[in-house]
A and B are shown apart, each in its own frame.
Chain A
């Protein structure tokens, strides 16, 4: 039985499959080395992180109220958004107040990707520029990210050069160094002119109100420092109790997502520019996005809300590696997406993704907060109900009577063609030549 997912994956150009496979294999290696050099007791680190996240989920409402109070004390304006529509309308209001047709620079943010913010802002007459190198290319291509950490994992240098050229940028070569320099020069002008900067949030600390944003390029920091207004958009589940929780999570995130000891830039935003400060935004807004999360919290998939968006489960997943991110047709792809997408949008629109898994368990093994992804996938499968027809009743009918069983064994080679879809990519086991009963009877 071929699903839509399978068909889309099969249509992928070989070049894309190669790019994704090589890049994700390198990331798996990088993660492995980083974890070995950072943690002496990785298992206890991840157990502690999982326990902290468990605590957060158990006390989510209280922590969010505490976060709101801390933010207000810091001078950060807090907005609650129940769904994508409300979030977009809220953000649109802030942007339009900043300038009637504003220039908005954006740092990488999956939450804004999830609510389709860019399209909305553009529809209403604002200009939006993605400033993360990968996201910049995605935007020029009118594409969507294929990986939550590495948005253009499906592209190589010639693709990027071609994209730049078709948008009036003229790199002298397709060296990554040159391509990055071209993007840097182009985006500098935007940072300088921008009215509003929009970012995501990696962690928000309830007790201090600190909004923590991590990145390697510096575009996020530029986006949230140079313009007069900073809007941070965060999924409800990103809250942590105290500042002292940060060290562990910063380390786990850096090691798991990019194989680093620590990400290059960690911004700890604690409010707008003070009167005596030379720069920084005059307004800081925090948008707390629910958009299906509280529904997940009270359901069977609750544990997926522990996710740090590190991308490690994508890199290690044999299905993601072969299928790439676009095949999942959702902002969140890979094992994480196969759970989160149906969680957010309902099993009826994305439940089929739960079948795009071999249940090998590699995702849970690399997950820095030990999310039992295979178990969650099984729960979704059970709910969707459409388990692919299992051959067990047929097997049972033959196995119950010895005569039928003997007949079945004899007929086995004849049914081989039925198993073609399976054997195309796998070995059909060679029979040893003698069946067990005969061997038993004839044993010396």
Chain B
């Protein structure tokens, strides 16, 4: 059964729409070079450590200020990044550090949620749409209540 039609976005390509929707939910896009400038200790996915040899790594992940990992997929329509648990994809990395830097290969962007869900395998997946937020007190938006306060996506073609 075909799903109901969604409101059409007026944007040509997936990356542009992803970028727009990500900023709507409070995330941002930055350059590769910006990663090294983040203050505090880092928690970096094993496979990526070679890109930043000089950075201070946190001995205890709970102490890290910046987490860096690769996204396993993304959704343009919602500005979401997806992570699948695996040997080199700790689930807590996208959750504990107050700043989360995500490297995204633009080819991994699916146009919409339907397409992304159709690609899920049997790992544990997390769909992350913007930084952590709450509006529990007087409906006022506060970011970073339990998860990251900043979500930064860096285009990273493989």
Measuring CB to CB, which residues of chain A are less than 8 angstroms from any residue of chain B?
A: 19, 22-23, 26-27, 36-42, 44-45, 48, 74, 131-134, 137, 150-152, 155-157, 160, 176-177, 179-180, 183-184, 187-188, 192, 208, 210, 216-219, 221-222, 225-226, 243-244, 246-248, 250-251, 258, 260-271, 273-274, 276-280
Q: Measured between alpha carbons, how far is A176 from B25 in the docked complex, in Å?
A: 19
Q: Measured between alpha carbons, how far is A131 from B86 in the docked complex, in Å?
A: 26
Q: Measured between alpha carbons, how far is A187 from B146 in the docked complex, in Å?
A: 8
- Taking CB atoms, residues of chain A closer than 8 Å to B95 are 218, 221-222, 225
- Taking CB atoms, residues of chain B closer than 8 Å to A246 are 113, 117
Interface residues on B, range: 35 or more
- Taking CB atoms, residues of chain B closer than 8 Å to A137 are 136
- Shortest distance between the CB of A150 and any CB in chain B (Å): 6
Q: Check A176/B62 contact, CB under 8 A, given A217-B147, A247-B117, A279-B92.
A: no
Partner of B91, one of A36, A180, A225, A271: A225
Most chain A C-beta atoms within 10 Å of own C-beta, residue among B80, B123, B128, B147:
B147
A-B pairs under 8 A by CB, number: 183
Q: Measured between alpha carbons, how far is A131 from B136 in the docked complex, in Å?
A: 12
Contact assessment for B125 and A45 in the assembled complex, using a CB-CB cutoff below 8 Å: no
Interface of B is mostly: loop
Contact assessment for A133 and B127 in the assembled complex, using a CB-CB cutoff below 8 Å: no
Partner of B62, one of A188, A210, A258: A188
- Taking CB atoms, residues of chain A closer than 8 Å to B126 are 221, 265-268
Given contact pairs A216-B134, A244-B118, A262-B113, enumerate 20 new A-B contacts (beta carbons under 8 Å): A38-B6, A48-B1, A132-B136, A133-B137, A137-B136, A155-B137, A160-B137, A176-B140, A180-B144, A217-B146, A218-B148, A225-B91, A226-B92, A246-B117, A261-B78, A264-B132, A267-B124, A274-B85, A277-B87, A280-B124
Q: Is B120 part of the binding interface, using a Cβ–Cβ cutoff of 8 Å?
A: yes
- Taking CB atoms, residues of chain A closer than 8 Å to B80 are 262
Contact assessment for B122 and A208 in the assembled complex, using a CB-CB cutoff below 8 Å: yes
Contact assessment for B92 and A225 in the assembled complex, using a CB-CB cutoff below 8 Å: yes
Partner of A133, one of B5, B91, B136: B136
Contact assessment for B133 and A264 in the assembled complex, using a CB-CB cutoff below 8 Å: yes
- Taking CB atoms, residues of chain A closer than 8 Å to B87 are 276-278
Q: Check A41/B127 contact, CB under 8 A, given A176-B138, A277-B86.
A: no
Most chain A C-beta atoms within 10 Å of own C-beta, residue among B3, B79, B124:
B124
Contact assessment for A183 and B133 in the assembled complex, using a CB-CB cutoff below 8 Å: no
Partner of B138, one of A23, A38, A132, A217: A23
- Taking CB atoms, residues of chain B closer than 8 Å to A262 are 78, 80, 113, 127, 129
Which 10 pairs between the two chains have the least Cβ-Cβ distance? A218-B147, A218-B146, A134-B136, A45-B4, A266-B127, A176-B137, A218-B132, A247-B113, A268-B125, A219-B146
Measuring CB to CB, which residues of chain B are less than 8 angstroms from any residue of chain A?
A: 1, 3-8, 21, 24-25, 62, 77-80, 85-87, 90-92, 95, 112-114, 117-118, 120, 122-140, 142, 144-148
Contact assessment for B120 and A243 in the assembled complex, using a CB-CB cutoff below 8 Å: yes
Q: Check A250/B142 contact, CB under 8 A, given A38-B6, A40-B6, A225-B95.
A: no
- Taking CB atoms, residues of chain A closer than 8 Å to B6 are 38-40
Contact assessment for A265 and B128 in the assembled complex, using a CB-CB cutoff below 8 Å: yes
List the A residue with the shortest CB-CB distance to B77.
Answer: A261
Contact assessment for B133 and A217 in the assembled complex, using a CB-CB cutoff below 8 Å: yes
- Shortest distance between the CB of B114 and any CB in chain A (Å): 5
Contact assessment for B122 and A247 in the assembled complex, using a CB-CB cutoff below 8 Å: no
* A-B CB contact pairs (8 Å), 22 listed: A23-B139, A38-B6, A38-B7, A39-B6, A42-B4, A133-B137, A179-B137, A180-B145, A208-B120, A210-B120, A216-B132, A222-B147, A247-B114, A248-B4, A261-B79, A264-B147, A265-B126, A265-B128, A265-B132, A270-B125, A271-B124, A278-B87
- Shortest distance between the CB of A54 and any CB in chain B (Å): 14
Q: Measured between alpha carbons, how far is A344 from B110 in the docked complex, in Å?
A: 42
- Taking CB atoms, residues of chain A closer than 8 Å to B124 are 267-271, 280
Contact assessment for B138 and A156 in the assembled complex, using a CB-CB cutoff below 8 Å: yes
Contact assessment for B86 and A264 in the assembled complex, using a CB-CB cutoff below 8 Å: no
